[in-house]
């Protein structure tokens, strides 16, 4: 079974007898490393209880379109942005028809319309209903929209009929979902990413730093590895776990980060400078703790190295040098200026105050050809879109 480490699966359960298999399906998703949240239609609760799914997933189960416990009572919008993948399983003939025709009268059908995430459908129904021309037309329509179809399987059904229409086994569904993230788009490529903040020491106990959490860099590292790349992540001080199949190099200061970068970037295909590198550092580091004295203190600062500009100017530079611009105003204009000044191939700009310590982000991609808006979503989802743009440029 492929890994689903760090992936967010939104499982939508509809009212079919195969709903009982969702207990095992949830368990297997979690075993594969995914975080699971569950949405159930009212009819689904007749076949398996929300309490069972809540206990297995570790998250409360969502049943209502307008949720008074959610932000602005819009639980479906929050969930739509949270998910990396929406899986409808079991998907009954009725639920497939409603989704195919764009209905939005419950939480599941509404979030399917609202989500920017990939959507997979695992059908489960009587063999006669599956073979009906209208059901097949609905399936064809969903496939044309890019939905992934998982199954159905063939065999004996609850009604006693034999034929196509059985829900695929949970192991098969999990494997199919994991394969959706294993794109191979960066297979054989070496991607170097810097992430997190840097800390510039004032004395043995104090430092200058910023609010960067490192979440965007770590999402990019995880998704690049899933896309087949060999990933080196050069990380400032953060509290995040190292993504699977990623080589992590820990650093503290901007000078440390530059030295670590120059050691590995020469044989890389892509350099992505995500780190929030301190622009300045103290001219001198006090050997002992600076004591409180007077109403004010004056610090002398000197400029830190510009890591991404140095990488872009190397004789043996990576094929693509990609920057980030976390801005508080004039996001696109400032991003375009940074792209040109630092001789970057691509830059991702965002509103800094909306990003630090957040799990979601909205990004604007900037290059010489123009500007592309990437829809807001969780950082892993947006990271995949960013890497898609990078992979496209590598093949040009």
**Residues labelled as active-site residues:** 159
Cα separation, 387 vs 82, in Å, equals 19
Calculate the dihedral angle through the C-alpha atoms of 99, 43, 39, 169, rounding to the nearest 10 degrees. -80
CA proximity to 321, closest of 271, 269, 254: 271
| Paired tokens of 291 | 């004591």
Cα separation, 347 vs 366, in Å, equals 5
β-pair partners for 163: 155
Residue 211 contacts residue 352 (beta carbons within 8 Å): no
Cα separation, 339 vs 273, in Å, equals 12
Cα separation, 331 vs 325, in Å, equals 8
| Paired tokens of 2 | 């492929």
Cα separation, 276 vs 285, in Å, equals 21
371 C-beta neighbours (distance < 10 Å), count? 12
CA proximity to 215, closest of 338, 352, 355: 355
One-character DSSP codes across 262-309:
HHHGGG-SEEEE--B--SEEESS--SSPPPP-SS-----EEEPP-HHH
């Amino acid at each position: 079974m492929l890994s689903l480490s760090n992936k967010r699966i939104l499982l939508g359960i509809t009212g079919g007898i195969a709903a009982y298999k969702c207990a095992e399906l949830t368990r297997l998703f979690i075993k594969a490393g995914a975080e699971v949240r569950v949405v159930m239609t009212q009819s689904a609760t007749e076949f398996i209880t929300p309490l069972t799914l809540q206990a297995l997933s570790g998250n409360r189960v969502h049943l209502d379109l307008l949720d008074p416990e959610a932000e602005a009572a819009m639980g479906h919008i929050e969930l739509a942005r949270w998910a990396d993948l929406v899986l409808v399983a079991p998907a009954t003939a009725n639920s497939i028809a409603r989704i195919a025709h764009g209905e939005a009268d419950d939480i599941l059908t509404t979030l399917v319309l609202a989500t920017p995430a990939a959507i997979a459908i695992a059908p489960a129904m009587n063999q006669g209903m599956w073979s009906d021309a209208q059901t097949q037309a609905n399936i064809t329509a969903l496939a044309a929209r890019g939905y992934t179809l998982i199954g159905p399987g063939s065999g004996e059904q609850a009604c006693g009929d034999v034929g196509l229409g059985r829900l695929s086994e949970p192991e098969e569904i999990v494997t199919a979902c994991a394969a959706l993230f294993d794109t191979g788009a960066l297979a054989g490529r070496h991607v170097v990413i810097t992430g997190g903040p840097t800390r510039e020491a004032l004395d043995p106990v104090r430092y200058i730093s910023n609010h960067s959490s490192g979440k965007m860099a770590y999402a990019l590292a995880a998704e690049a590895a899933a896309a087949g790349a060999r990933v080196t992540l050069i990380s400032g001080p953060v509290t995040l776990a190292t993504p699977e199949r990623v080589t992590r190099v820990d650093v503290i200061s901007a000078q440390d980060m530059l030295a670590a970068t120059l050691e590995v970037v020469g044989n890389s295909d892509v350099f992505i400078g995500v780190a929030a590198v301190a622009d300045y550092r103290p001219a001198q580091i006090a050997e002992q703790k600076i004591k409180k004295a007077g109403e004010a203190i004056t610090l002398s600062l000197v400029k830190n190295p510009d890591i991404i500009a140095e990488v872009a100017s190397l004789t043996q530079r990576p094929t693509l040098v990609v920057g980030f611009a976390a801005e508080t105003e004039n996001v696109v204009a400032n991003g375009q200026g940074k792209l040109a000044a630092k001789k970057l191939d691509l830059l991702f700009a965002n509103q800094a105050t909306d990003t630090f310590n957040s799990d979601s982000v909205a990004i604007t991609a900037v290059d010489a050809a123009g500007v592309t808006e990437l829809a807001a979503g969780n950082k892993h989802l947006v990271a995949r879109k960013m890497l898609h743009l990078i992979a496209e440029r590598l093949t040009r």
